[in-house]
Structure formats: structure tokens, C-alpha cells
Amino acid sequence: MSDTRETSLDGKTFAIGVLSVTACILFVGLMLINTQPAQAFGQSDKAGDYKMLTMQLGSSRECIVVVDAAAKQAIIYGFNNSQDRLDILSMIPMDQMPKPRDPDVSNQPRGRNRR
């Protein structure tokens, strides 16, 4: 006795197949078209005594700055393309950073009741 079953393609199975093939084609197309490197400058985050931010050093170079408030130090990391790793570019003690200037009091707008 041989059991021969006919398999029919219902609408649900056909739709899943079409969507799967379409997703694969779109994914390959996205990989071929998107040739620009990702840029993430201008981002920041903080947790506890640490603050991390990204900044752009030049037209094609970015870095990550990690500020440790407890140790009063900022460390700047840059990506080393030849070795595929992050390297320390600079370590700056916070007490050596320039102090912000005091606001110029003479340029501030005066209120009506101020004499």
C-alpha cells in the first residue's frame, strides 16, 4: 500500500513564502546600497559618576569622551582602524581644563523694577 497525498498550496502558506522572499531581497538590496559609514556624533549618556559623549574630531574621525566625576578625569577614546579597536587618545585631569567665564553682567537685560 502506498500512501500518496496531494499537498495543496493554500493562501496563507503562499503569502508567508512571498513575504519571506521579499524580505530577503530587500535586505540584500539594503546591504548593497548602504555604503556610507554610520556616524553617531552628538550622543551622550550618564550613569552614576560617569558621563559619556561622542564628538567629531574632523570630517572623518570621531571619538568617545568618558568623564569620571569621582576621579575628576576625562578620557578620550578613538577608533584605531588598522587594529579594529578603541585606543586612548588623551587623558585630561578635570582640574587642568579651562574654567568657564563669568557672564558679563553689563550685557544682561534689565528689568523694569531694577534701579
Closest CA to 76 of 95, 93, 60, 59: 93
Confidence band of 39 (pLDDT split at 50, 70, 90): low
Average pLDDT over residues 88-109: 77
CA distance 95 to 62: 24
**80 and 61 Cβ atoms separated by less than 8 Å:** no
In the chain, where are the structural domains located?
44-96
Prediction pTM value: 0.50
CA distance 55 to 49: 20
pLDDT tens readout for residues 8-26: 778 899 999 999 999 999 9
CB atoms within 10 A of CB 76: 17
